A and B are shown apart, each in its own frame.
Chain A
Amino acid sequence: MSAGHWRGATALVDTKRIAKFGALYAAEYRIRNMLKWWQAIVAFGIGNPLLYLTSIGIGVGSLIDKNTNGAGPDGVKYLAFIAPALLATAALQGTMEEVTFPVVHGFDWRKVFFAMHAAGLTGKQVAQGVMISAITRSVFTVSVYWAILWAFDAFDSLSALWLIPIEIFFGACFACVMMAVSAYMKEDDGWFAIIGRFVIAPMFLFSGTFYALSTLPLTIRWVGWISPLWHATEIGRYFSYDHPISVTMLLVHFGYMTLLGIAGLLVANRKFALRLAA
């Protein structure tokens, strides 16, 4: 390295560019890091739907369809009924994975977020970068899952294509909340396991994934109402096989998830900035 080549950062670095594209630079890092695990991401992205569809969609589904003459919950075959729910679950879980442990990794395990901050990125840009990378993974996960569902004949109409952008959006909204939660964690300390068992698992079980929510007693049904997965599933079913939903409820589903997303992102932005400057 010789002095003759030394231009100096003032000449070399365009701070306006960083202000404009900083979130993309943070996302580039996360995606590069994610690609180190691409085999696991691909295997999970393909294996997960194959296992679920074979065991529940075909296995449990054939039993239910036999007893209902193909007119199970909502009057459609069981595979068609659970397909939007499984897709929504994959979207929410896949996006969540990229905003939980990676956030602890960034703040505590390797402190790479502090390196980004020292280079001129703001806390908000780092948070947005994490979210962009999570959505990037979600695009892959949801698209692959959708294609496999299509191959299993889970959709009757091409309007089901709407499920891809919608579930990616809902997954991102949910991930914003989880990113905010993760930003408060000083270290894992088993919190993610607790959240998995007492938040994610109940959400999966009580959101009308495998049966219509209306079959649950009212004392438990509220779990579904507040669950992002139920809102994502209801919308999915509407676009998948004309599951009846009023315009009001359509607005409620989109509005609820959008509000969750905005609130989560605002909290995450603030917490990222505070932790990086503490």
Chain B
Amino acid sequence: MPRLAVVPNPENQTQMIVAQNLTKVYGDFTAVAGIDFSVAKGESFGLLGPNGAGKSTTMRMITATLQRSGGDLTILDKDPDKFGPEIRAHLGVVPQADNLDTELKVHENLYIYGRYFGLSRKYLTKKIDELLAFAQLEDKRNSKVDQLSGGMKRRLTIARALVNEPEVLLLDEPTTGLDPQARHVLWDRLFRLKEQGVTLVITTHYMDEAEQLCDRLIVMDQGKIMAQGSPASLIAEYSSPEVVEVRFGSDRNVAVAEKISHIGDRMDVLPDRILIYAQDGEAALAEIIALGQHPVTSLVRRSSLEDVFLRLTGRTLVD
């Protein structure tokens, strides 16, 4: 498959990250297979894909913590192979697994992380109050990290990554493992940063997260970019506006699918359900019922990035 051209991002904007033919190889295994993308200042950029797609490896290369095997990469106009520490000092990184110090208190974690950047005690004293308020952890200031819930730890890790007022905040799977409420609180915090113009780069395998937070994203699978663009443009290009999900029972789905295959723009038959992509979902469902096919359950919803991924790879994100 030919490499995709870099999709233009906001014009006349400073490019914070530019990757061309970016490659990472471990022995015989190619984790990232020559991908191109760029991230503009103030943009919220996502890397969407299933586990093992190469998102985290890409993330580690653009946080200047992992050397690339090939291609060109500039972060904040610098080559990370030559200026790794300088670049890292100007980024904010939220790793997939929290690496907070459990022996230090909440405010001490923020303080000591700020000290790694050489920030003064005076600056940090004020900044810590600000960050605790942002992370809604003011009442946990003197708590040990182990006393925090999973969502609180993630918020603290994000707050910690903001201590140096980073030029780009990079978040690797920020809400994995969190309950729905904690995810929404976190999204709210990230959305506020986005509103403030902070450049965000997010890897996720949750399509709703990508849709909520990303202005533009790349869909990755097996180390390659399958598609890139805004969530809306990807859905418009690779899916129909609405999707009808119908279940007739796993033993009947295939047989029924043959009878209703003319309905809608396209159809995917999954082991547990049939997906019908249509311009008008309710009309498509009415057509199915009119044919005498009564599903056990039915759902009409708008098309999502999950559908885009299914179209591009033939697999769902959780496969």
Given A18-B118, A120-B86, are A36 and B103 neighbors across the interface (CB < 8 Å)?
yes
B71 within 8 A of A: no
**Size band of the interface chain A makes with B:** 35 or more
B112 within 8 A of A: yes
Given A13-B118, A18-B89, A25-B116, are A118 and B130 neighbors across the interface (CB < 8 Å)?
no
B65 within 8 A of A: yes
**Size band of the interface chain B makes with A:** 35 or more
What's the nearest-Cβ distance from chain A to residue B38, in Å? Answer: 19
Contact pick for B99, options A7, A114, A121, A277, CB 8 Å: A114
CB pair B88–A120 under 8 Å, yes or no, is yes
Distance in angstroms between the alpha carbons of A238 and B143 in the assembled complex: 51
Q: Which residue of B has the minimal Cβ distance to A114?
A: B99
Contact pick for A114, options B95, B112, B162, CB 8 Å: B95
CB pair B116–A1 under 8 Å, yes or no, is no
Selected interface stretch from A27-35, A144-152, A157-165 = A27-35
What's the nearest-Cβ distance from chain A to residue B113, in Å? Answer: 6
Which residues in window 64-91 of B have CB below 8 A to A?
A: 65-67, 76, 84-86, 88-91
Q: Which residue of B has the minimal Cβ distance to A37?
A: B103
Interface string of B93-134 (1 = CB under 8 A from A): 101010111111000100011011111000100000011011
CB pair B89–A32 under 8 Å, yes or no, is no
Contacts of A5 in B (CB 8 A): 130
Interface of B is mostly: loop
Distance in angstroms between the alpha carbons of A32 and B103 in the assembled complex: 10
What's the nearest-Cβ distance from chain B to residue A274, in Å? Answer: 11
Q: Which residue of A has the minimal Cβ distance to B167?
A: A9
Given A33-B103, A118-B65, A118-B95, are A15 and B85 neighbors across the interface (CB < 8 Å)?
yes
Contacts of B91 in A (CB 8 A): 9, 118
B241 within 8 A of A: no
Contact pick for A12, options B65, B93, B102, B165, CB 8 Å: B165
Contacts of A3 in B (CB 8 A): 196-197
Contact pick for B101, options A8, A13, A112, CB 8 Å: A112
Distance in angstroms between the alpha carbons of A33 and B103 in the assembled complex: 7
Contacts of A26 in B (CB 8 A): 116
A128 within 8 A of B: no
Contact pick for A19, options B66, B85, B112, CB 8 Å: B85
Distance in angstroms between the alpha carbons of A19 and B84 in the assembled complex: 11
What's the nearest-Cβ distance from chain A to residue B195, in Å? Answer: 8
CB pair A119–B102 under 8 Å, yes or no, is no
CB pair B117–A18 under 8 Å, yes or no, is yes
Given A9-B167, A12-B165, are A1 and B134 neighbors across the interface (CB < 8 Å)?
yes
CB pair B162–A1 under 8 Å, yes or no, is yes
Contact pick for B90, options A2, A10, A277, A278, CB 8 Å: A10
B164 within 8 A of A: yes
Contact pick for B118, options A8, A14, A118, A277, CB 8 Å: A14
Additional A-B contacts beyond A9-B167, A116-B116 (16; CB < 8 A): A2-B196, A6-B196, A6-B197, A12-B164, A13-B118, A21-B118, A29-B112, A32-B104, A33-B103, A110-B100, A111-B99, A118-B88, A119-B113, A120-B86, A120-B117, A122-B84
A-B contact pairs, 20 of them (CB 8 A): A1-B134, A1-B192, A6-B165, A9-B92, A12-B119, A12-B164, A13-B89, A13-B119, A25-B118, A29-B115, A32-B104, A36-B103, A115-B116, A116-B116, A119-B89, A120-B88, A121-B85, A276-B65, A277-B66, A277-B67
